Amino acid sequence: MTGPVGAIVLTGGRGSRLGGTDEARIDKARITVAGRQMVETVVGAAAAVADPVITVGPGGDTREDPPFSGPVAGIAAGLAALPGSADLVVVVACDLPDLDAATLRAVVATLRGPAGAGRGSVLAVDAAGRDQYLLAAWDRRALAARLDALERSGGLGGRPVRALYDDEVVARVTVGDAARDVDTWSDLASRGPVALAHVAAVLRSELTPLPPTARAPLDAVGAVLAEPLLAADPMPRAPVSAMDGYALAGTGPWRLTGPARRAGDGPQGDLPPGTAVAIGTGALVPGGADRVLRHELVQVNCDDPVPATVAALPEADGISDLRPVGEDWPAGHELTRAGTTLDAALASAALSAGVAEVTVRGPVRAVIVTTGDEVVPADTPSPLPPGRIRDTVGPLLGAVLARAGFSRSAAGADSDDLDAHCPDTAEAVHALVSGAPDAVVRARHGDVLVLVGATGRGVADHLRPALTRAGARVVLDGVRVRPGGSQIVAVLPDGRVLLGLPGNPLAAVCAAATTGRALVDALTGRERARVLTRVDGLAALAAPGRARVLPARPDGTGGWALADRVRTAHLADLAGAPALAVVPDAAEADRADQVEVIDWI
């Protein structure tokens, strides 16, 4: 088989294994691995061996019919778009970030060589011996015949791609790691540093949320609702007056009668038609009253010997200050949905609604430990011993974590654990992450152990070996961002989560503000709306292959001014900058004009 080669690249459906849905599709093809979108890697490899290369999927050269009807329908659409001159067809998925031209040449050569003689297709086999049905080469006629048979036997939509090979004589070629695909966020994280934009999804996928607990509303401020907040009582629970004024029964003018009704008074009898009674704000409206008017909308006649009367002024027409039962909400009304942070206002509303307990996750309790034998306490007087530096980030990191959503009580400056320090020895780091009795911090009450430093790969960095030795599960090892890329998230043997931050002060703050927020989201189910702002000249601020986190200052016009250059050894560049701006990598910045703005303090 020596004819021209064409290629079909399937660029994905909804991304359901990554959490995509009909309403919120995840564009798998655009996920970056090693700083490059997977579809760019795959199309580049395919273009080295085939011409043309047809992409099938949202935003591609063609689409399966109907959309999202599966890979077999996508292959059919791609085949229809290939010119008739292509005798051999490479079929490949977009989620193979290690694919290269040499691998595809090997697949094509196998079909053209003796092993492919009389075979309709060649399948690639990965390093684990698994067939990769979406890394293959086909004789065009065999592929068309197989698609036609499936169409006649029930249609192409929804078919698993392996159905193409059920009755086919297939040759195989082992290609090793080049066939490793990315189906899940765990697959993505296992390949090294992930894009900052994917950190939240990786953590949500790989971490188990904190168990829900029932707590009184005022005791749950700062936690995240695990269930919708439903009103137990209507608001108001009975008809009440919204203003100081008069309750009126029937048509006027009304004869003023009885003692005034005040907030807190119980029922005091009904009003007969044609009568009125003075009433205070929040007081129960007596039975028989069908209207309340505030003082400024009535005229009261108190002349003797005529009984006092109340008359409505012309401007009172159509107005009533009577609040009926359930005017604000009825019993059972959803005040807010699960995933909302219970702030002070919501706690107050829960009390107004008669809610005795709320079901929440969190607050997430953090314990901070610093590393670095060169680090001395912040208040160490000068001159410092040679080679020593003051701890200029540990004392304020609690406030940064609190802003990210961690518990203030555990992350505040009065915490006994805040100033804990771990020596730069393999034994001390192992004791810390394993929860050994002689660990420098016995912090089993904390949900997250925040470790500052030791995340690099230098001679004094013992964290990774300690995690392996302790049997911890590393969830995230590195993020494609600067500053703050050297960070680690792991699940420790006792169930705590480790958040390893870089040792440089600015890098530590940036990682705590970004990954720290994502970690709280993952552990609590918190839903946050991103704050975006437009930035002119965004492409000039972007870096290739990685995001940047830059200090942001109000520009006086309602926008933000971003610093273009920062130093990581101190926090001087954050002075006057209450927010951090997340600038996407250069490829994304070319298609965007907005950045996310995060309050860090």
Please state, in angstroms and rounded to a whole number, the distance separating the CA atoms of residues 3 and 53: 16
- Contact in structure between 451 and 401 (CB atoms under 8 Å): no
How far is 479 from 501, CA to CA, in rounded Å? 11
Residue 441 is predicted with a pLDDT of 53
CB 37 within 8 A of CB 30: yes
Q: Pick from 25, 166, 18, 157: which is nearest to 95 by CA?
A: 18
**Residues of 471-503 as b/e, b for ≥16 C-beta within 10 angstroms?**
ebebbbbebbbbbbbbbbbbbbeeebbbbbbbb
Closest CA to 536 of 565, 566, 559: 559
The third-level CATH classification (topology) of the domain covering 211-234+328-361 is Molybdopterin biosynthesis moea protein, domain 2 (3.90.105)
The neighbour count for residue 148, using CB atoms within 10 Å, is 12
- Give the pLDDT score at 304: 59
pLDDT value, residue 117: 76
Share of the chain above pLDDT 90, in %: 64
* pLDDT score, position 416: 46
First to last CA, the chain: 66
The per-residue pLDDT for range 502-561, each reduced to its tens digit, is 999 999 999 999 999 999 999 999 998 899 998 888 888 999 889 999 999 998 888 899
Q: Per residue in 301-329, pLDDT tens? A: 887 556 799 999 999 999 999 999 999 99
Does residue 418 surpass a pLDDT of 50?
A: no
Which H or E element spans position 409? helix 408-411
Q: Give the residue extent of every domain in the chain.
A: 5-183, 211-234+328-361, 240-323, 366-524, 532-599
pTM of the predicted structure, to 2 decimals? 0.85
pLDDT at residue 28 in the model: 86
Query: 575 or 16, which is more confident?
Result: 575
pLDDT in tens, 187-204: 888 888 999 999 999 999
Q: From CA 297, how far away is CA 292, in angstroms rounded? A: 10
User: Which among 206, 208, 528 is positioned nearest to 339, based on CA atoms?
Assistant: 528
| Superfamily grouping for domain 5-183 | Spore Coat Polysaccharide Biosynthesis Protein SpsA; Chain A (3.90.550.10)
pLDDT tops 70 at residue 413: no
Same fold, 211-234+328-361 and 366-524: no
* More confidently predicted of 395 and 409: 395
Q: Which of 541, 533, 400, 560 is nearest to 482 (CA)?
A: 541
The answer, yes or no, to whether residue 499 has pLDDT greater than 80, is yes
Task: Classify 560 as helix, strand or coil.
Answer: strand
Strand pairing partners for 311? 299
Mean pLDDT of all residues in 392-411: 82
Residues of the chain with pLDDT > 70, as a percent, come to 95
Q: Which residue has the tokens 């070319």?
A: 590
219-238 mean pLDDT = 96
CA 356 – CA 260 distance, rounded (Å): 33
Would the pLDDT of 433 be above 80?
yes
Tell me the one-letter amino acid at 306. Answer: V
Transcribe 298-361 into DSSP letters. EEEE--SSSPPEEEE-GGGTT---EE-TTSSB-TT-EEE-TT-B--HHHHHHHHHTT---EEEE
- The pLDDT tens digits of the residues spanning 459-483 come to 778 899 999 999 999 999 999 999 9
**Could you count the other beta carbons within 10 Å of the beta carbon of residue 184?**
16
Contact 225, 359 (CB under 8 A): yes
Where do we find the tokens 């015949």? Answer: 145
Which residues on neighbouring strands pair with residue 329, listed in sequence order?
235
Instruction: Give the count of beta carbons closer than 10 Å to the beta carbon of residue 375.
Output: 21
Average predicted confidence (pLDDT) for the chain: 90
- Give the lowest-confidence range in 132-146, 241-255, 435-449: 435-449
Q: Is the model's pLDDT at 412 over the cut of 50? A: no
- Name the one residue in this structure whose structure tokens are 């790969």: 457
Residue 586 has pLDDT above 70, yes or no: yes
pLDDT for res 438: 59
Domain 240-323 = CATH 2.170.190.11: yes
**Residue 18: what pLDDT?**
77
Residues 6+ away with beta carbon under 8 Å from 506: 483, 484, 566, 567, 568, 569, 570, 571, 573, 574
Strand partners, 62: 56
pLDDT band at 392 (very low <50, low <70, confident <90, very high): confident
Handedness of CA 374, 380, 385, 390 (dihedral sign): positive
Place of tokens 């971490």: 207
Question: Does residue 491 contact residue 471 with C-beta atoms inside 8 Å?
Answer: no
| Residue 349 pLDDT greater than 90, yes or no | yes
Mapped onto helix, strand or coil, the DSSP state of residue 221 is coil
**Which CATH number fits the domain 366-524, given the four candidates 3.40.50.300, 1.10.10.10, 3.40.980.10, 3.30.360.10?**
3.40.980.10
**pLDDT tens per residue across span 359-377:** 999 999 999 999 988 888 8
Q: Is the pLDDT of residue 443 over 80?
A: no
pLDDT at 417 over 70: no
* Low-confidence winner among 5-19, 226-240, 276-290 (lowest mean pLDDT): 5-19
Q: What is the pLDDT of residue 20?
A: 74
SS3 451: strand
Q: How many CB atoms lie within 10 A of CB 95?
A: 27
Q: Grade residue 337 by pLDDT with cuts at 50, 70 and 90.
A: very high
Give the Cα separation of 28 and 274 in Å (integer).
72
